[in-house]
């Protein structure tokens, strides 16, 4: 069974580094002439998958927009996830789960178990209780050829005071919270050309501000929000991520979704081509 890291490398080689964020904001549903209902979300998601198929290799549904509609929203989500995986897309569930013990294990079971109604290829995780608390879903991911992305330095400014805080380890080597997460994930991926556990590092943050060593990201996938509507541009990705640029998943949501169901495919292709040129330069 190929690992998630191996499948991600294949997606990079075949379709580039752009990921479509399936972010069903109410204003986008309205622009797409859809109702803000579970059925509207289902149609939105399926049209997004159709536009993405054959253009990008990765999609990232934002689960919160489906969750607003309760069980009907989750039923719509299951259809969208199934369609995306059937189309050969790698699916990252943006769920940002984090807990301890049997609770975090159950989250992993829900999203990372083959045959689960919510099965995806990877999920986002929060390590507020420590990266060690995520052992259950990380072990499940490894056993099933799945992946995970741990939040490290996110693109929202409110997170900076916490994510840049210095860890009190008692050792001479002192890291920020974000850098500590990067270090622990680096250790998990040791020996892999491209690991199956990634980190989230926003395109609008500075590595230096968080004390993150780019050298520790050589085998770590990076899920990068912040492009498009949040201000970062794809042409700057190599400068933003330096030696780690080839591992970056560049997420685009609103900026391309605003092109509508008829224009989305073309908008995505434009961004894929732009990023390919930037990485090849």
Catalytic, out of 60, 96, 146, 258: 96
Confidence band (pLDDT; 50, 70, 90) for 174?
Answer: confident
Domain coverage including residue 101: 4-280
Our count of domains for the chain comes to 1
Write out pLDDT tens, residues 177-216.
999 999 999 999 999 999 999 999 999 999 999 999 999 9
Confidence band (pLDDT; 50, 70, 90) for 107?
Answer: very high
Q: Is the pLDDT of residue 168 over 80?
A: no
Q: Is 96 a catalytic residue?
A: yes
Write out pLDDT tens, residues 47-88.
999 999 999 999 999 999 999 999 999 999 999 999 999 999
CATH code (residue 75): 3.20.20.70
Q: Concatenate the DSSP letters of all residues of the chain into one string.
A: ---HHHHHHHHHHHH-SEEEEE---HHHHHHTT--SSHHHHHHHHHHHHHHHBTTBSEEEEBHHHHHTTHHHHHHHHHHHHHHHHHTT-EEEEEEEE---HHHHHHHHHHHHSTT-TT--SEEEE--TT-GGGGHHHHHHHHHTT-EEEEEEE-S-GGGHHHHTSBP--SSSS--BHHHHHHHHHHHHTTT-SS-SEEEEE-TTS-HHHHT--GGGGTT--EEE--BGGGSB-GGGHHHHHGGGGGGEEEEE-HHHHTTHHHHHHHHHHHHHHHHHHHHH-
Q: Is the pLDDT of residue 230 over 90?
A: no
d(CA 63, CA 242): 31
Q: Is the pTM of this model over 0.95?
A: yes
pLDDT at 71: 98
């Amino acid at each position: 069974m190929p690992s998630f890291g191996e499948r991600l490398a294949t997606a990079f080689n075949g379709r580039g580094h752009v990921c479509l964020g399936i972010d069903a904001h109410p204003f986008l549903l309205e622009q797409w002439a859809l109702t803000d209902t579970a059925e509207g979300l289902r149609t939105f998601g399926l049209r997004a998958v159709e536009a993405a198929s054959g253009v990008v290799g990765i999609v990232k549904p934002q689960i919160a927009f489906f969750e607003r509609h309760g069980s009907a929203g989750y039923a719509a989500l299951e259809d969208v996830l199934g369609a995306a995986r059937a189309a050969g897309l790698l699916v990252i569930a943006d769920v940002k789960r984090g807990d301890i013990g049997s609770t975090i294990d159950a989250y992993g079971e829900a999203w990372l178990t083959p045959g689960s109604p919510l099965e995806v290829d990877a999920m986002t995780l929060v390590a507020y209780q420590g990266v060690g608390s995520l052992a259950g879903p990380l072990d499940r991911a490894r056993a099933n050829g799945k992946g995970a992305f741990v939040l490290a330095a996110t693109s929202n400014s409110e997170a900076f005071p916490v994510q840049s805080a210095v860890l009190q380890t008692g050792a001479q080597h002192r890291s920020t919270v974000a850098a500590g997460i990067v270090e622990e994930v680096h250790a998990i991926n040791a020996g892999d050309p491209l690991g199956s556990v990634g980190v989230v590092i926003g395109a609008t943050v500075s590595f230096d501000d968080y004390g993150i060593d780019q050298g520790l990201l050589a085998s770590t996938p990076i899920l990068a929000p912040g492009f498009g509507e949040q201000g970062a541009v794809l042409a700057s990705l190599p400068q933003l991520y330096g030696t780690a640029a080839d591992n970056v998943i560049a997420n685009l949501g609103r900026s391309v979704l605003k092109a509508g169901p008829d224009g989305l495919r073309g908008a995505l292709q434009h961004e894929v081509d732009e990023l390919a040129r930037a990485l090849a330069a």
